Each structure stands twice: as structure tokens, then as C-alpha cells.
Copies of this chain bind each other. A is one copy, B any other.
Amino acid sequence: MAMDHSILKVISSENMKLLDSVKHCIIYKAETDILTQGTQVRGVYCINSGKIKIYKSSGSGKEQIIRFAKKGDLLGYRTLIANHKLGVSATTIEECSVCFIEREDFLKMMVEAPQLREWLMEELSEDLAEMVEALTTMAHRSVRSRLCGALLVLEELYEGEPINLTRENLANFVGTAKESVIRLLSEMKSEGLIQIAGRKITVINRVLIKTATQFS
């Protein structure tokens, strides 16, 4: 299994043993809630396989998808470290295999493994930079431009497989209405930028789509 950018990459073999002894692996079906906004976390979750949406719901019932997590990603550590309540929710969008690490065990690992602390700090930095980027994009760019950006991100997420999301999830990621996404997608299809097969979307002309993310 590829662990190039995972927490497991930075764990010493000694701590790895510790980890093995405390983790609990679980399989979740698609559309299962893992974390719920406003609650405490009981520990952290490390994704082995499958994709999970991280989102925030606003008062009016709309949800904004912040990012998608996939294998190697760690969920819940920020909230756990700060001892806050969760600011976001997480729900599987496919069947997922996930390891759960109890709060106390994780904190212990953090104390003992400086590389882990290092890695978490880098993760936080990275995420923060991404959020700043996302914010300015949301503020300045048109729905079409944002949709193009989203498709490129999702292409990465799906690693060559066609993008497979409900239009609603796509809309909640882009930050727009479902109908707008549908209209723009069919526009882009007729321009030969993408291919659509039911729910599945395949990027055809990556270069032009990339260009579209630079303007408007």
C-alpha cells in the first residue's frame, strides 16, 4: 500500500509497534458519518482506503465541503490537540477502511515522536495555505472558474479514475447551487473539455481547464 505522504511514513519502527497495538480498524459503508460538527472527538482516524468528505454546515442547512480526504490522511487531530469541539463533519462517500486511535494513545505518541509533531505542524501549515487560497478563489472567481479548479483537484483525488460524485456534493465543494453545476458541466461537455457518463466525469482537455482557473 502506498504510504508516501502518510502519518505512517514518519513513525519510527518502535512507535509503529505501539501504533499497531492500539489501533482499531473499521470498515464503513458509503454515506456513513465519521465525525460530527459540534461534538468532541474520541480519538483520531487514519484512512486506509476510500474517500471521505470534510464539510461544514451553516445554519441555513447548506453544507460547504472543505476538502476530501483519502488514504493516508489523518482526521480529527487538530480538534483533539486543541481540545475543542469539532468545527466540521466528516462523512464517507465510498466504502472506507479506517483505523481509529484512541485519544490518550495518540497524545502519548505525540509526546514520544518528535517527527510526528513535525509532520502535524507541516500538515497544519499546508492546510492553512490551502484554505487561504480557497478563500480568495471563492471571493474573486466565477462559478465556472471555481468548478474548473474543483475538477482538477478531484481528478487528483480519483487518481485517473473518472470523478464519481453526486452533483450536489460537487456543488457543495464549489460553493454554488446544484443546478449551476449541471448547466456548466453540460456547457463544458459541449466544448469538449470533459466527458460525462451518468454521474461520472472525465477530464479531457486539462490544459484549457487549467487556463480557465486563472481568470474571472
What residues make up the interface of A, taking CB atoms closer than 8 Å to B?
56, 58-60, 62, 64, 66, 78, 81-82, 84, 87-88, 117, 120-122, 124-129, 131-141, 175, 214-216
In the bound complex, residues from chain B placing their C-beta under 8 Å from that of A81 are: 121, 125
CA distance A102 to B66 in the complex (A): 35
In the bound complex, residues from chain B placing their C-beta under 8 Å from that of A56 are: 132-133, 136
Distance to closest chain B CB from A55 (angstroms): 9
In the bound complex, residues from chain B placing their C-beta under 8 Å from that of A122 are: 82
Distance to closest chain B CB from A168 (angstroms): 14
CA distance A117 to B134 in the complex (A): 26
Q: Which residue of B lies closest to A63 (CB)?
A: B136
In the bound complex, residues from chain B placing their C-beta under 8 Å from that of A129 are: 78, 84, 87
Distance to closest chain B CB from A149 (angstroms): 12
CA distance A66 to B139 in the complex (A): 11
CA distance A129 to B88 in the complex (A): 9
Cross-chain contact B128 with A60 (CB below 8 angstroms)? no
Cross-chain contact B215 with A59 (CB below 8 angstroms)? yes
Cross-chain contact A132 with B66 (CB below 8 angstroms)? yes
Indicate which residue in B84, B117, B121, B138 contacts A135 across the interface (CB closer than 8 Å).
B138
Given contacts A60-B140, A214-B59, contact A131 B135 (CB under 8 A): yes
Distance to closest chain B CB from A127 (angstroms): 6
What are 7 contact pairs spanning A and B, CB under 8 A? A58-B141, A59-B214, A87-B132, A127-B128, A131-B134, A138-B138, A139-B175
In the bound complex, residues from chain B placing their C-beta under 8 Å from that of A117 are: 117, 121
In the bound complex, residues from chain B placing their C-beta under 8 Å from that of A82 are: 122, 125-126
In the bound complex, residues from chain B placing their C-beta under 8 Å from that of A88 are: 132
In the bound complex, residues from chain B placing their C-beta under 8 Å from that of A137 are: 58
In the bound complex, residues from chain B placing their C-beta under 8 Å from that of A59 are: 214-215
Given contacts A87-B129, A131-B131, contact A58 B124 (CB under 8 A): no
Apart from A58-B136, A87-B132: 14 A-B pairs, beta carbons within 8 A: A59-B214, A60-B216, A64-B139, A64-B140, A66-B132, A78-B128, A78-B129, A82-B126, A88-B132, A117-B117, A120-B121, A124-B128, A131-B134, A135-B138
